[in-house]
């Protein structure tokens, strides 16, 4: 497991990603902006200006068991593959009821009842992902989820998101914003 990496998603006028749309799914949305920059490490910790900034940190796994971790490692791809010119940034806040549950109760909802990992695994390696934790940072969202895929996998990404949103886990989500982005394919 690599050490925790601080990340800042900065919406404004610069960054490689064009913001195509910002859709509130539950609760309050976020303002529309033109571009998104993804800052990592010390860059993410410095002072930054933007129309909005979401901060998070990569962390250890909480729910995945050994078999699931091995399956993820075997098929997950790195970020910024040249062909992966589409992205989704989906910040999520869960309810107080969720946070009041015990770890085993959360795992049961997350995987045994909702099959979050087994649904997600069906879409690897086409979709690359990184999960960022924000709950302990006092941020407005608990998680900032980030996904990258090629245009030909856009439909299967929608299918996967719809499946996840119909699971029992999503009853514990009180704020969710679906932000879609694209970028030009790098030359060469």
Binding site for ligand HEM (CB under 6 A): 61-64, 72, 90, 92, 94, 116-117, 120-121, 123-124, 127, 129, 131, 143, 145, 160-161, 164
* Nearest residue to ligand HEM, by Cβ distance, number only: 120
Q: Round to whole Å and give the CA distance between 67 and 184.
A: 37
128: tokens are 């690359």
Alpha-helical runs (H) found in the chain: 42-45, 66-75, 96-100, 103-107, 116-121, 154-165
The residue among 50 and 120 lying less far from ligand HEM, judged by its C-beta, is: 120
Is the CB of 43 or the CB of 63 nearer to ligand HEM? 63
Shortest distance, CB of residue 18 to ligand HEM, whole angstroms? 20
Q: No. of H helices and E strands in the chain? A: 6, 8
Taking the complex as a whole, the smallest distance from the CB of residue 101 to ligand HEM amounts, in Å, to: 10
| Rounded CA separation 35/145 (Å) | 17
CB of 97 to ligand HEM, least distance (A): 12
| Cα end-to-end distance, the chain, whole Å | 32
- Minimum Å distance from CB 94 to ligand HEM? 6
Nearest to ligand HEM of 49, 100 (CB atom): 100
């Amino acid at each position: 497991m690599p050490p925790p990496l601080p990340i800042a998603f900065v919406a404004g006028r610069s960054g490689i990603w064009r913001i195509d749309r910002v859709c509130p799914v539950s609760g309050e949305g976020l303002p529309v902006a033109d571009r998104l920059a993804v800052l990592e490490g010390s860059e993410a910790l410095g002072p930054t200006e933007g129309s909005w900034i979401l901060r998070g940190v990569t962390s250890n796994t909480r729910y995945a068991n050994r078999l699931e971790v091995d399956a993820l490692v075997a098929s997950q791809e790195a970020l910024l593959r040249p062909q992966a010119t589409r992205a989704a940034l989906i910040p999520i806040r869960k309810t107080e009821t969720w946070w009041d549950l015990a770890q085993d109760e959360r795992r049961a909802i997350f995987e045994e009842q909702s099959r979050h990992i087994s649904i997600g695994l069906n879409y690897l390696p086409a979709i690359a992902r990184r999960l960022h934790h924000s709950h302990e940072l006092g941020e407005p969202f608990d998680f900032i989820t980030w996904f990258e895929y090629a245009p030909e996998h856009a439909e299967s990404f929608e299918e996967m998101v719809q499946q996840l949103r119909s699971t029992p886990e999503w009853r514990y989500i009180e704020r969710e914003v679906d932000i879609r982005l694209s970028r030009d394919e790098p030359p060469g």
